[in-house]
Amino acid sequence: MRGADYVVKRVAFACLTIFIAITINFFLFRVLPGTAVTNLARVPNATKQLREALTSEFGLDKSKWAQYVLYLKQLVHGNLGVSYANRQPVASNLWTALTNTLPVVTIATVISLVLGIATGVLSAWRRGGFIDQLSTNTALVFYSFPTQWIALILLFALSRYLPTAGTDDPFLLHQPPFWQHLENLAQHMVLPVITLVLTLYGGNTLIVRSALLETLGEDYVLTARAKGLRPRRVMRTHALRNAMLPIVTLVALSLGSIVAGAILMEVVFSWPGIGDALYQAVQQRDYPMLEGGFLIVTVSVVFFNLIADLCYFVLDPRVAQ
């Protein structure tokens, strides 16, 4: 019964978090100066009548509360609205951007998790040694570097060998065969993937190392060592298994960030993903795109954190007490 209460509370808290995020998401962009038709004032042929017509068409002439109620009604019916920029459904625009983001960020996240967990375990196992110092210092260096700085350095260093922008070769005059297109896409993905791996791996290493060092100091680990168990068995059976809660949190946060993508990476490499779409939407004051994009990001992060909470209960039922 206590487990059921825990699950219900976690689900209710996740739903409340999403509702609050939706509300903040709606009002946040409307307190910024300017609207979707502000830039039209700089166009010579944009008359006052045209701006007023677009303002009425977009519903920007209504009060904020009226717009908010209309926005909630549309969400209930699964409608994210229409983009102010290209007059296309927001859901369609975001789906196209999401299909470009998911492969890059998923591959980078998986590689960074594997690399981070491996180096974190190795550092904790060889604590204080040369391997630990090398691994920890390297992780700290990459963890402290901004994403856009790493992206720019890779762009300058490897631009002679790898594509640096977009997803396709702009000089192709016809649709290439499937395997050639796949090879071309993979080449364009190399630099974005490397950028995200270097950005994420450092934090993963430090978190795993910290969690394992805390576990290795527990009494049951000292008892296992006193019994003469091999170090590998102590690490695998006792330390790593009991350090899973922080690692589950790490995995959940990483999976949540998959949908968010990396805005700065996509801007530097002109990758047409959800991060670049949100960046363009900010410049164009495209409220529906911003609201839809941040809604998807919020739901994904909350969902994966909910999965992590449920995994906590499975791994350690004491969290429900």
Average pLDDT, the chain: 75
> Is the pLDDT reported for residue 118 higher than 80?
yes
What's the whole-number mean pLDDT along residues 98-123? 84
Residue 244 lies in a domain: yes
Residue spans of alpha helices (H) in 163-262 = 178-216, 219-226, 231-233, 240-242, 244-260
Q: Which residue has the higher pLDDT, 75 or 49?
A: 75
Q: Which residue has the higher pLDDT, 162 or 241?
A: 162
In angstroms, the CA 1 to CA 5 distance is: 6
- Give the model's confidence band at 166: pLDDT under 50 very low, under 70 low, under 90 confident, else very high: low
Q: What is the 3-state secondary structure (H, E, C) of 225-247?
A: HHCCCCHHHHHHHHHHHHCHHHH
Q: What is the pLDDT of residues 295-306, one digit of tens each?
A: 888 888 888 778
Residue 274 lies in a domain: yes
Residue 58 lies in a domain: no
Q: 32 near 64, Cβ under 8 Å?
A: no
Q: Would you tell me how many other CB atoms lie within 10 Å of the CB of residue 29?
A: 17
Q: What is the pLDDT of residues 119-165, one digit of tens each?
A: 888 887 777 778 888 888 888 888 888 888 888 888 888 878 887 77
Domain CATH number, residue 252: 1.10.3720.10
Domain count, the chain: 1
Could you tell me the sign of the dihedral formed by the alpha carbons of 40, 45, 51, 53, in that order? negative
Phi-psi region of 247 (alpha: psi -120 to 50; beta: other; left: phi over 0): alpha
Residue 17 lies in a domain: no
> Is the pLDDT reported for residue 189 higher than 80?
yes
pLDDT of residue 249: 73
| Two structure tokens written together for 94 | 């975001």
Matching residue, tokens 């670049």: 276
pLDDT of residue 51: 61
Provide the domain limits for residue 176. Answer: 90-320
Residue 130 lies in a domain: yes
Q: What is the 3-state secondary structure (H, E, C) of 261-313?
A: CCHHHHHHCCCCCHHHHHHHHHHHCCHHHHHHHHHHHHHHHHHHHHHHHHHHH
What three-state secondary structure class fits 129? Answer: coil
Residue 76 lies in a domain: no
What's the whole-number mean pLDDT along residues 230-250? 71
Q: Which of 145-149, 169-173, 220-224, 305-309 has the lowest mean pLDDT?
A: 169-173
> Is the pLDDT reported for residue 274 higher than 60?
yes
pLDDT of residue 170: 56
Residue 198 lies in a domain: yes
> Is the pLDDT reported for residue 57 higher than 80?
no
Most confident of 75-84, 96-105, 221-230: 96-105
- Give the model's confidence band at 31: pLDDT under 50 very low, under 70 low, under 90 confident, else very high: low
Residue 35 lies in a domain: no
Tell me what percent of the residues of the chain surpass a pLDDT of 70.
75
pLDDT of residue 35: 58
pLDDT of residue 260: 60
> Is the pLDDT reported for residue 229 higher than 60?
yes
